[in-house]
C-alpha cells in the first residue's frame, strides 16, 4: 500500500513541478512522468484486486477514474506539444 500511496502522490507532484519549469519541453517531460506514475497506480490496483485486498467493483471504479485522468493528461501533453510546435515555426 505504501507504494500505491507514493505513486498516487507522484502524479500531482510531477504536474506541479513541471508547471514550475522554464520550458514547455520540461513541462511535457514531467507530465509524462505523471502519466507513468498513473500507470503504476493502475498496476497496483490490478494487483490489489488479484490479491483480494479490493473487490472487482472497487477495481473497476478506480480504473475508470484513472483512465479518465490518463485521457486528461494525454490531452494536456498534446495541447502543449502543439503550442510548442506553433511557437517554434516562424510567421510568414
Domain boundaries defined on the chain: 2-88
What pTM did the predictor assign?
0.88
> Cell triple for residue 50?
488479484
Which CATH superfamily, name and number, covers 2-88?
A: 23S rRNA-intervening sequence (1.20.1440.60)
pLDDT digits (tens, 9 = 90+) for 22-78: 999 999 999 999 999 999 999 999 999 999 999 999 999 999 999 999 999 999 999
Nearest residue to 41 via CA among 65, 18, 20: 65
Query: Using DSSP, how many helices (H) and how many strands (E) does the chain show?
Result: 3, 0
Identify the pLDDT of residue 90: 61
Amino acid at each position: 500500500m505504501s507504494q500505491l500511496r507514493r505513486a498516487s502522490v507522484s502524479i500531482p507532484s510531477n504536474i506541479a513541478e513541471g508547471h514550475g519549469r522554464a520550458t514547455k519541453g520540461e513541462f511535457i517531460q514531467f507530465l509524462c512522468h505523471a502519466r507513468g506514475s498513473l500507470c503504476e497506480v493502475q498496476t497496483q490496483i490490478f494487483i490489489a484486486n488479484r490479491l483480494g485486498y479490493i473487490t472487482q467493483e472497487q477495481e473497476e471504479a478506480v480504473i475508470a477514474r484513472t483512465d479518465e485522468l490518463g485521457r486528461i493528461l494525454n490531452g494536456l501533453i498534446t495541447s502543449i506539444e502543439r503550442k510548442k510546435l506553433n511557437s517554434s515555426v516562424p510567421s510568414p
